[in-house]
Amino acid sequence: MDTLLDRLKSEIGEANVLTGSAAAEQAFSPWTQLGTPLAIVRPGSTAQVAAVLRAAGDAGAAVVPWGGRTGLVDGARAEGAIALSLERMAAVESVDPGQSTMTVQAGCVLEAACRAAEDAGLFLPLDFGARGSATIGGAISTNAGGNRVLRYGMARDMVLGLEAVLADGTVLTTLNSLIKNNAGYDLKQLFIGSEGTLGVVTRAVLRLRPKPASQQTALLGVERFDALPRLLRRLEAELDGALSAFEVMWPQFYDLVTTPPAAGRPILPPVHGYYVLVETLGADPAADGARFEAALAGVLEDGLAADVVIAQSGAERARMWALRDDVAQTARNGPIQTFDVSLPIHEMEPYLTAVRAMLETGIPRATLTIFGHLGDGNLHLIVGNPDADHRETVEAIIYGPLAARHGSVSAEHGIGLQKRAWLGYSRSPEEIALMQLLKRAMDPRGTLNPGKVLPPGPKVAGAAP
Ligand code: ZN
């Protein structure tokens, strides 16, 4: 291994190859288990990323790409591997107002990319809780979702072009900035959402949108689940495509984020069945406000919502989002297991009833806290299990009923290490076989983020353990 580390040092500079205590210090994340990497390498250019992959490939060493390390499925676990951090490739290379695109390096933090777009009078709609540390490369590799998918789609929908480095060091530069380009296979899709198992994303061309001139936010109290889908469709129709968020908090979640030690306090009295944060982004501040108020008055009148508070200032809006974003409070029921499932809205209530009943029988001391991007059919379930055992039983309870209800074991967090045993609950054997074929074709030595996403399949010759 010394020869490998020596080669890496000569390729990218000694200061950018961290080992021992320097590496151990960096290999920590409150969100995910990173393991103890053999070394952390910090290439400063695409050419250097290629050099690292070539050197590791020659030595048969595993390479795990690192972005902001805020993933929740242990996709960045790098035990005994070379952790390839993109932190030095953090530049916004250009913003093109004419094309409404930006070219960004993979290590650029999401929030910084959003700010650069805004400085140019444009808007990068990707937004989620880890915005201050997650990177563009990580968001693309995991096809991140978040709070505005309802209107703008997931990370995949914002990527026009991509540069990625293959396991053998080949640089694939597809920095397309065209909205329409049907010239052959859309190769960038291989790297979006494949969690660094098929290549390392190094740069991207992102599609930007007009910067919204108005933003309307409200918190609604709703009594019955069956009102939620009707409320969603009604607001979508009446707000004419401006609805950008429809976030639902269940009472247990609302209680946690509005009581000490949480900083938040109730904005609506804690008496409702569901709390819905809705937001619109529009182009006409005067008219948008009036239309938003009229739509909400209508849903109150028709009994779809029982109560509503409209944010009257930026501070009030921030207080509403702070409740939704304070997911860390769910750790108060710890130790916790975090789930991210997807299913058709009409299946949600029977699914949750079944899950609750199985938890009550199987693990009576467990708690269940629920919130999610209901407009996208995406629920986050947090199971608190004071006994910290039966982890697989809890997983079986959450994932088991999904297949029959046409759901997915991962809506937006990805598969990583945590969910690979459950991939077969959401993908057919034929789909998984094709995924394994792609993996073998693109990474024949099995050195790129090995063991992630795919359930252990047929042995790959020379694969790292
Ligand atoms: Zn989410």
412 CA to centre of ligand 1 in angstroms: 7
73 CA to centre of ligand 1 in angstroms: 13
- Residue 252 is encoded by which pair of tokens? 């247990």
Could you tell me if 314 and 342 lie in one domain? no
Q: Answer whether 124's CB lies under 8 Å from 112's CB.
A: no
243 CA to centre of ligand 1 in angstroms: 17
Could you tell me if 237 and 206 lie in one domain? no
Q: State the pTM of this model.
A: 0.93
Q: What is the mean pLDDT of residues 202-215?
A: 97
400: CATH: 3.30.70.2740
170: CATH: 3.30.465.10
Q: What is the mean pLDDT of residues 230-239?
A: 96
109 CA to centre of ligand 1 in angstroms: 18
Specify if 157 maps to a domain: yes
93 CA to centre of ligand 1 in angstroms: 28
Hunting for tokens 């693990």 — which residue is that? Answer: 363
Specify if 132 maps to a domain: yes
Q: Is the pLDDT of residue 461 over 70?
A: no
Could you tell me if 301 and 238 lie in one domain? yes
Confidence of residue 1 (pLDDT cuts 50, 70, 90): low
The pLDDT, as a whole number, for residue 457 is 56
Could you tell me if 196 and 219 lie in one domain? no
359 CA to centre of ligand 1 in angstroms: 23
- What's the number of domains the chain is made of? 3
Q: What is the mean pLDDT of residues 85-96?
A: 98
Specify if 67 maps to a domain: no
Q: For residue 396, what are the domain limits?
A: 334-414
Could you tell me if 270 and 371 lie in one domain? no
* Count of CA atoms in the C-beta half-sphere (13 A) of 276: 30
448 CA to centre of ligand 1 in angstroms: 27
Could you tell me if 131 and 183 lie in one domain? yes
Q: Hey, is 370 helix, strand or coil?
A: strand
Look at residues 190, 210, 230 and tell me which one is the last residue of a structural domain.
210
Look at residues 185, 210, 235 and tell me which one is the last residue of a structural domain.
210
5 CA to centre of ligand 1 in angstroms: 38
Average pLDDT, the chain: 94
CB neighbours (10 Å) of residue 175?
15
Could you tell me if 168 and 231 lie in one domain? no
Strands of 200-343, DSSP E? 200-207, 209-210, 214-222, 243-249, 274-282, 307-310, 336-342
98 CA to centre of ligand 1 in angstroms: 32
Could you tell me if 255 and 205 lie in one domain? no
Specify if 344 maps to a domain: yes
Could you tell me if 206 and 97 lie in one domain? yes
146 CA to centre of ligand 1 in angstroms: 5
287: CATH: 3.30.70.2190
342 CA to centre of ligand 1 in angstroms: 11
387 CA to centre of ligand 1 in angstroms: 26
263 CA to centre of ligand 1 in angstroms: 21
Specify if 78 maps to a domain: no
CB neighbours (10 Å) of residue 147?
25
Look at residues 210, 237, 260 and tell me which one is the last residue of a structural domain.
210
149 CA to centre of ligand 1 in angstroms: 10
459 CA to centre of ligand 1 in angstroms: 34
Specify if 425 maps to a domain: no
Q: Hey, is 115 helix, strand or coil?
A: helix
Q: For 307-322, how does the pLDDT look when each residue is reduced to its tens digit (9 = 90+)?
A: 999 999 999 999 999 9
CB neighbours (10 Å) of residue 139?
32
Q: For 380-419, how does the pLDDT look when each residue is reduced to its tens digit (9 = 90+)?
A: 999 998 877 788 999 999 999 999 999 999 999 999 999 9
Specify if 184 maps to a domain: yes
Q: Is the pLDDT of residue 31 over 80?
A: no
Q: Answer whether 282's CB lies under 8 Å from 210's CB.
A: no
Could you tell me if 240 and 310 lie in one domain? yes
Confidence of residue 465 (pLDDT cuts 50, 70, 90): very low
Per the DSSP assignment, residues forming a β-bridge with 84 are 41, 65
Could you tell me if 320 and 338 lie in one domain? no
